[in-house]
């Protein structure tokens, strides 16, 4: 299990293996808006299906506890499950990187990357958003995301939705929307 804090300025978080991404896009130039390219062409669907990038999109800027854990490990962020997305495939060959989505909006190799050691292989991943409230439910005292990874012999199909509401800083209960 890995646990850290990710400061989000670009309204999202991404997980990827740089070696896998470089093989898919070997000529990525510094400053290139890969996010726009992925969201305005069919490349985005291909990137998701091939397990190149796992995104958490359209979230509030701020600091989040982020956990990467195996599916057989217990929930690591205290609080209530607010939102859960479907499955996103993930391929890891060398290491896993977690970064602010801004890295895809203006490509910068190694800028703001947090590297996570994870065994090479194919995974199915599930993103879970968790929020902890004070005992009187009037104050949020913690919030974060878990990337739950399940090792797989083959890449699973994408069932997660990039358009799903993944915000957890809201005061209202997202499950009712």
Number of domains in the chain: 1
pLDDT confidence tier of residue 177, bands split at 50, 70 and 90 = very low
Mean pLDDT score, 61-78: 93
Q: State the residue for tokens 């009037």.
A: 138
Answer whether residue 167 is part of any domain: no
In this prediction, residue 175 carries a pLDDT of 42
Answer whether residue 61 is part of any domain: yes
Answer whether residue 112 is part of any domain: yes
65 touches 174 (CB < 8 A): no
138: number of Cβ within 10 Å: 8
CATH number assigned to the domain comprising residue 71: 2.60.34.30
Answer whether residue 48 is part of any domain: yes
Give percent of the chain with pLDDT exceeding 70: 95
Identify the domain containing residue 77 by its residue range. Answer: 2-161
Which tens digit of pLDDT belongs to each residue from 111-149? 899 999 999 999 999 999 999 988 998 888 889 999 999
Which tens digit of pLDDT belongs to each residue from 15-26? 999 999 999 999
């Amino acid at each position: 299990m890995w646990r850290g804090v990710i400061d989000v300025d670009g309204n999202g978080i991404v997980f990827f293996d740089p070696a896998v991404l470089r093989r898919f896009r070997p000529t990525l130039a510094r400053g290139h808006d890969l996010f726009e390219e992925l969201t305005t062409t069919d490349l985005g669907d291909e990137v998701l299906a091939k397990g190149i990038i796992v995104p958490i999109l359209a979230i509030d800027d701020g600091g989040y506890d982020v956990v990467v854990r195996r599916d057989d490990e217990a929930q690591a962020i205290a609080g209530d499950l607010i939102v859960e997305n479907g499955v996103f495939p993930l391929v890891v060959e060398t290491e896993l990187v977690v970064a602010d989505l801004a890295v895809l909006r203006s490509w910068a190799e190694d800028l703001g990357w947090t590297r996570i050691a994870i065994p090479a292989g194919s995974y199915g991943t599930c993103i879970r958003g968790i929020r902890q409230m004070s005992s009187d439910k009037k104050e949020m005292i913690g919030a974060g995301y878990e990337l739950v990874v399940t090792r797989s012999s083959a890449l699973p199909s994408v069932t997660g939705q990039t358009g799903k509401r993944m915000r957890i800083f809201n005061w209202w209960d997202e499950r009712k929307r």
